[in-house]
Amino acid sequence: AGQPLNYKTSIVDLLKLLGLDSSLQSRKELASELHYSGSTDDTATMNVWLIKQVYAELAKNGGKVPADWTH
**In the chain, how many domains are there?**
1
Q: Find the domain containing 42 and state its range.
A: 11-64
With a cut of 90, say whether residue 70 has pLDDT above it.
Answer: no
What's the predicted TM-score (pTM) here?
0.86
* pLDDT-based confidence at residue 53 (cuts at 50, 70, 90): very high
| Amino acid at the residue 11 | I
Q: What is the pLDDT of residue 62?
A: 92
Question: Rounded distance, CA 41 to CA 45, Å?
Answer: 9
CA distances (Å), origin 21, targets 26, 70: 6, 9
What is the per-residue pLDDT across 7-47, written as a single tens digit (0 to 9) for each?
A: 889 999 999 999 999 999 999 999 999 999 999 999 999 99
Residue 1 lies in a domain: no
54 and 11 in contact (C-beta within 8 Å)? Answer: yes
Q: Is residue 5 a part of any domain in this protein?
A: no
Compute the distance between CA of residue 62 and CA of residue 51 in angstroms, rounded to an integer. Answer: 17
Task: Confirm if 64 and 58 have CB atoms less than 8 A apart.
Answer: yes
